[in-house]
Amino acid sequence: MKSSDLERAHVRVSGQVQGVFFRDSTRQRAEELGLTGWVKNLPDGRVEAVFEGPSEKVREMVRWCEEGPRHASVENVETGFESASGDLEGFEVR
């Protein structure tokens, strides 16, 4: 796979997204899609994540974030796309 086929998405998800297994569900879904990156809670109540991998899988993950896990209530997803750095290994909950 060419590096041009790889993409990175940096997302910040707002709504009822903490205390509803958002981070663990995000990790599970990202691993199912074969993506690398991380997810963490922010002090302001949002969840922040970085996903890296094949462009179509990254975009599928961003769409998943717009819904979130069953008990989440997503109000907004801010997304920035950039070139993949290739410096991430695995997917971690921070």
The C-alpha angle with vertex 58 and arms to 38 and 44, in degrees rounded to 5, equals 45
The per-residue pLDDT for range 48-70, each reduced to its tens digit, is 999 999 999 999 999 999 999 99
Domain membership flag for residue 70: yes
76 catalytic residue (yes or no)? no
- The total number of structural domains in the chain stands at 1
* Within a domain: 88: no
**Annotated catalytic residue within 23, 27, 29, 46:** 23
57 in any annotated domain: yes
Q: With respect to residue 16, please indicate whether it lies within any of the assigned structural domains.
A: yes
CA–CA separation, 9 and 50 (whole Å): 6
Marked catalytic residue, from 8, 27, 29, 41: 41
CATH number at residue 36: 3.30.70.100
Residue-wise pLDDT for 22-49, tens only, equals 999 999 999 999 999 999 999 999 999 9
**Has residue 77 been placed in a domain?**
yes
23 noted as active-site residue: yes
